[in-house]
C-alpha cells in the first residue's frame, strides 16, 4: 500500500470517529419531588357547578348516498328517510337507480326528469316514498 493511500485511509477513519465524539450528553431533567409529610396548605375550595347538558353538533345534510349514484346533471340532495334523491328544482320529483319518480295525486315514473311519464302504483316506487305520500 502506498503512503498516500495509508494517509487517506487513516484520515477517513479519524473523521468518521470524530463525528461520534462531537455530541454532548445532556441528562434528563425530572420535575422536583414534592415534600412528603403533612401539608400546611388547605386544599382549594370546590364550588359546585351546574350540570350542563352536552350540546350535540348538528349533522350536515348529506348531498349524496353511499349506495346510490346521484341523478345525472340535476341539482339534488339525498334524503335518507325517503331513500331517494330529491330534485331541488322540481317539486315532488325524486330519483333512484336510473329512474325518476313523481307524485302528482298519484305516482308516475320515467327515465328522464322531463318525461314521458308512465303511471305506477305504490308498489312501483321506493318504500320510503310510498310511506310518505301513500295512496
Give the per-residue pLDDT at 117.
94
Give the per-residue pLDDT at 7.
84
Cell of 97: 337507480
| Residue 18 pLDDT class (50, 70, 90 cuts) | low
Strands 76-79 and 93-96: unpaired
Q: Are 96 and 68 in contact (CB under 8 A)?
A: yes
DSSP state, residue 122: G
Higher pLDDT, 67 or 99: 99
Amino acid at each position: 500500500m502506498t503512503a498516500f493511500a495509508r494517509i487517506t485511509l487513516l484520515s477517513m477513519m479519524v473523521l468518521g470517529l470524530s463525528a461520534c465524539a462531537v455530541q454532548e450528553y445532556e441528562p434528563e431533567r425530572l420535575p422536583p419531588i414534592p415534600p412528603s409529610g403533612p401539608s400546611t396548605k388547605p386544599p382549594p375550595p370546590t364550588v359546585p357547578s351546574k350540570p350542563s347538558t352536552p350540546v350535540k353538533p348538528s349533522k350536515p345534510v348529506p348531498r349524496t348516498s353511499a349506495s346510490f349514484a346521484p341523478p345525472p346533471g340535476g341539482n339534488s340532495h339525498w334524503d335518507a328517510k325517503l331513500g331517494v334523491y330529491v330534485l331541488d328544482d322540481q317539486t315532488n320529483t325524486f330519483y333512484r337507480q336510473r329512474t325518476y319518480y313523481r307524485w302528482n295525486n298519484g305516482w308516475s315514473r320515467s327515465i328522464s326528469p322531463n318525461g314521458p311519464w308512465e303511471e305506477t302504483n305504490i308498489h312501483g316506487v321506493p318504500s320510503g316514498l310510498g310511506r310518505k305520500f301513500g295512496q
